[in-house]
Structure formats: C-alpha cells, structure tokens
Amino acid sequence: MVVGKVVGSVVATRKNEGLLGSKFMIVQPLSNMEAKGRIVAVDNVGAGIGEIVLVATGSAARIGCDMANAPVDAAIVGIVDNSIGLMED
C-alpha cells in the first residue's frame, strides 16, 4: 500500500477493453514511502487533484478495484480524510 498525493490525470482514448470507462490519475508517493517515482493508478473512488490517497499495487490493485481480468498494476482504493504521522512532500 502506498500513500500519495494526486498530482494529475491521464487521458487515454485508446486502451485495453478491460479498462474502458476507467479514470486514470497520476500519484506522487509521499516522501516517507518506499515507492519512488510517480504512479499512474486507476481511480474508482473519485479522487481529485491535490487529494491524499491510498494506492494498492500489484495483484491487490486488480482485486481492490474489482477488475480481476484487466491489466491494472495500481489502483486508488481510498481517499485520506485525516492522518496522524504522515508527512506531505
């Protein structure tokens, strides 16, 4: 699980059939996360730019966004309302 900030979005007019109707967001992991570099994640929870989110990666991402047969490696599975101990970039 990665905690990060949504910093942008991706528009893909041509994509795999399993991704039709999906929204993609660019997430910058917080500095204290082990993940390095930005992540493109499927967003099924309605996150917006500037929000802090929880991102599941790997096979957990497909399960977390109910897309078991889609080529998904990262999915936003929650929006952080309040946190203690997390530091933003």
State how many domains the chain has: 1
DSSP secondary structure letters along 32-71: TSS--S-EEEEESS---TT-EEEEEETHHHHHHTT-TTS-
Is 87 inside any structural domain?
Answer: no
pLDDT tens digits, one per residue of 21-75 = 889 999 999 887 777 799 999 998 999 999 999 999 988 887 777 777 788 889 9
Domain encompassing residue 38: 2-79
**Cut 0.75: pTM above it:** yes
What CATH number corresponds to the domain at position 6? 2.40.50.220
pLDDT of 9: 95
pLDDT of 86: 65
